[in-house]
Structure 1
Amino acid sequence: MTKLSVNINKIATLRNARGGNVPDLLKVATDIQKFGGQGITIHPRPDERHIRYQDARDLKSIVTTEYNIEGNPQHNFIDLVLECKPDQVTLVPDAIGAITSSAGWDTIKNQSYLAEVIQEFQRNGIRTSIFVDPINEMIEGAKKTGTDRIELYTEAFAHQYALGNENGIEPYVKASVLANQLDLGINAGHDLSLDNVKFFKQNIPGLLEVSIGHALISEAIYLGLDNVVNMYLQKLK
């Protein structure tokens, strides 16, 4: 079964809108795990507009499944990850001020930089994953960085699938076959939803984990968080 890691950034966005502690981020993380979620993902950004750095510290004792911290490996982020020691760190090439992630790494141009950062995390017992587009050259470049896993950036797939074009999965299938040959673990995320996640999972060989936040929390507004978590788990079996 492909694991479901729930990104709780949107819970923090809602909390921060009123300046208090409603909804309680730590309670939501606890409940998601109680409902069956197999991991918690956060993506703190430098302006702390949703997840705060202190949230990352506070969640360390709350997450009993898999703790995944995403972000651009700038100095403050690296220090935070080394302090929190999550199960997994996912490196994402976000520009400062970006609304959301919009591209994977150029693993060829950034190979030496990524390799250095990855080695530091691995020395501290943290599994690494890097955000990549489904391009074979980028997968091969990822392997050369020494990363444990890749996370396939799935926005293009989700867009094509919504248009009725199931062939949009093809680059992801090819990238996954290559990743399996290179002994790279495969994660995926961005715009996966209840509408498309089952099709994606059925077509991607060796898919270990999906990280889903925006769609899942939006769907939960209508359907309830417990219900939505378990709907995803059924589709990922």
Structure 2
Amino acid sequence: MTKLSVNVNKIATLRNARGGNMPNVLKVALDCEAFGADGITVHPRPDARHIRYSDVYELRPQLRTEFNIEGYPSDPFINLVLQVKPNQVTLVPDAPDAITSNAGWDTRTHFDFLSEIIDRFNQVGIRTSIFVDTNPELIEFAAKTGTDRIELYTEPYASAYASDREKAVAPFIKAAALAHKLGLGINAGHDLNLENLRYFHEQIPVLDEVSIGHALITDALYLGLQETIRQYKDCLK
């Protein structure tokens, strides 16, 4: 069964907007686990506008499910990951001022850079994943870096889903088939939600994991966190 990793960045954004510790990021993460989430994702950025490095250190010893840290592999980020040793690190090509991830890696251009970083993480037993688009050549170069998995950037699918879902998912089916053939695990994330997730999973049953934050937390405002996680998990059956 495909695992659901809940990204708790938006909880930290809400906390930071007022100061203090409400809502409590650690408590929400533990509640997500208790309500059935298979993992927790965080994406610390240099400006600490949501998840802070201190949150990452606090979460690591308390979580019982898989912990995924995603981010751009700057020196501070690499040091954080090596110290915390999450179950998985997802490398994204975000600029420091990016509002959110909006493209996959050019794994051909950055092949040496990514290969060196992945080797460092693999040496200490941290599973690695590279955020990529559906371009076959770039998936092939991702495989050559030694990464364990890729994470498919699904915003193009989500944007086109309402108009033609078969056309929207077609390049992702091909990309997943290629990645699977190359021996890569397959994650997916960005703009997946209760409207489009079930179909995506039905078309790509080899998915290992989806990472969902913004849509899930938004739905939780109306449905409650426990019911929201139940519905997202139901999409992955």
**Distance across 2 between alignment mates of 1:44 and 1:184:** 25
Match of 2:87 in 1: 87
Match of 2:49 in 1: 49
- Displacement, 1:233? 0.8
Counterpart check, 1:200 vs 2:180? no
**Aligned with 1:162: secondary structure?**
coil
Report if the CA contact (8 A) 1:176-1:205 is conserved: no
Match of 1:7 in 2: 7
Task: Give the alignment's TM-score, normalised by structure 2.
Answer: 0.99
Match of 1:112 in 2: 112
Could you tell me which runs of 5 or more consecutive residues in structure 1 were left unpaired when the two chains were aligned: none
Instruction: Count residues in correspondence.
Output: 237
Runs of 4+ that moved beyond 6 A: none
Task: Give the alignment's TM-score, normalised by structure 1.
Answer: 0.99
**Aligned with 1:207: secondary structure?**
coil
- Displacement, 1:31? 0.3
Between stretches 165-174 and 72-81, larger displacement belongs to 165-174
Match of 2:229 in 1: 229
Q: How does 1:1-237 map to 2 (within 5 A)?
A: 1-237=1-237
**Aligned with 1:216: secondary structure?**
helix
Report if the CA contact (8 A) 1:143-1:182 is conserved: yes
Aligned-residue Cα RMSD (Å) equals: 0.7
User: Counterpart amino acid of 2:91?
Assistant: L
**Distance across 2 between alignment mates of 1:211 and 1:147:** 18
**Distance across 2 between alignment mates of 1:134 and 1:71:** 20
Report if the CA contact (8 A) 1:43-1:69 is conserved: yes
Q: Deviations over 1:86-121 (max 9, x none)?
A: 000000000011000010000100011100000000
- Displacement, 1:51? 0.2
**Distance across 1 between alignment mates of 2:71 and 2:54:** 15
User: Counterpart amino acid of 2:96?
Assistant: I
- Displacement, 1:167? 1.1
- Displacement, 1:61? 1.2
Report if the CA contact (8 A) 1:72-1:92 is conserved: yes
- Displacement, 1:206? 1.1
User: Counterpart amino acid of 1:79?
Assistant: N
**Aligned with 2:160: secondary structure?**
helix
Q: Deviations over 1:40-68 (max 9, x none)?
A: 00000000000000000000012110000
**Aligned with 1:221: secondary structure?**
helix
- Displacement, 1:162? 2.8
- Displacement, 1:20? 0.7
**Distance across 2 between alignment mates of 1:147 and 1:14:** 33
**Aligned with 1:67: secondary structure?**
strand
**Aligned with 1:233: secondary structure?**
helix
Report if the CA contact (8 A) 1:160-1:166 is conserved: no
- Displacement, 1:179? 0.5
**Distance across 1 between alignment mates of 2:63 and 2:87:** 10
**Distance across 1 between alignment mates of 2:162 and 2:25:** 31
Q: Deviations over 1:156-181 (max 9, x none)?
A: 00000033443110000000010011
**Aligned with 1:96: secondary structure?**
coil
**Aligned with 1:200: secondary structure?**
helix
**Distance across 1 between alignment mates of 2:7 and 2:78:** 19
Counting aligned pairs with the same residue, the percent is 61
**Distance across 1 between alignment mates of 2:209 and 2:165:** 24
